[in-house]
Amino acid sequence: MTPSQLKNLKKIGMNGVHFDYPLGEKSTFRAGGNVEALCEVSSADLLRELVGYLGSEAIPYRVLGRGSNILVKDEGLEGVVILLEGEFERIASSNQANNELVVGAGASLFDLLMYCRDRGLTGLEFLAGIPGKVGGAVCMNAGAFGGQMGDRIVAVEMMDRYGSVSWIDKGELDFGYRHFNRPIDSIVLRTLVSLVTDSAEAVRQRIVGYLKEKKRRQPIDLPSAGSVFRNPPGGYAGRMIEAVGLKGRRIGGAMISEKHANFIVNIGGATAGDIISLIELIKEKVKHRFNTDLELEIEVLG
Q: Three-state SS for 270?
A: coil
246 vs 258: CA distance, rounded Å: 9
Q: Which is nearer to ligand FAD, 16 or 285 (CB)?
A: 16
Q: Which is nearer to ligand FAD, 1 or 64 (CB)?
A: 64
What minimum distance in Å lies between the beta carbon of 131 and ligand FAD? 5
302 is a site residue for ligand FAD (CB under 6 A): no
Q: Which is nearer to ligand FAD, 220 or 246 (CB)?
A: 220
Judged by CB under 6 A, the residue of 13, 24, 33, 67 near ligand FAD is 67
- Provide the mask over 193-212, with x wherever binding to ligand FAD is found by CB under 6 A and - wherever it is not: --------------------
Half-sphere exposure of 117 (CA within 13 A, CB side): 18
Judged by CB under 6 A, the residue of 24, 32, 33, 132 near ligand FAD is 132
113 vs 123: CA distance, rounded Å: 10
CB 52: neighbour CB atoms within 10 A?
A: 14
264 is a site residue for ligand FAD (CB under 6 A): no
Q: How far is CA 185 from the centre of its chain?
A: 16
DSSP H stretches of helix in the chain:
3-13, 23-26, 44-56, 109-119, 134-140, 149-152, 200-217, 237-243, 272-290
**Residues designated as active site:** 178, 227, 297
- 96 contacts: CB under 8 Å, gap ≥ 6: none
Judged by CB under 6 A, the residue of 225, 241, 279, 286 near ligand FAD is 225
187 is a site residue for ligand FAD (CB under 6 A): yes
What minimum distance in Å lies between the beta carbon of 137 and ligand FAD? 4
Angle value at C-alpha 70, between 67 and 74, nearest 5 degrees? 105
Q: Are strands 174-176 and 179-181 parallel, antiparallel or unpaired?
A: antiparallel
Tell me the backbone φ, ψ of residue 263, rounded to 5 degrees.
-105, 130
Q: With CB under 6 A as the contact rule, which of the stretches 6-14, 129-137, 198-206, 233-241 interacts with ligand FAD?
A: 129-137
77 vs 74: CA distance, rounded Å: 9
Q: With CB under 6 A as the contact rule, which of the stretches 42-50, 71-79, 137-145, 231-239 interacts with ligand FAD?
A: 137-145
Q: Which is nearer to ligand FAD, 225 or 256 (CB)?
A: 225
Kindly state the number of chain residues that form the binding site for ligand FAD, as judged by CB under 6 A: 33
Which residues of the chain form contacts with ligand FAD (CB under 6 A)?
28, 62-70, 84, 105, 130-133, 135-137, 139-140, 142-144, 178, 187-188, 218, 220, 224-226, 299
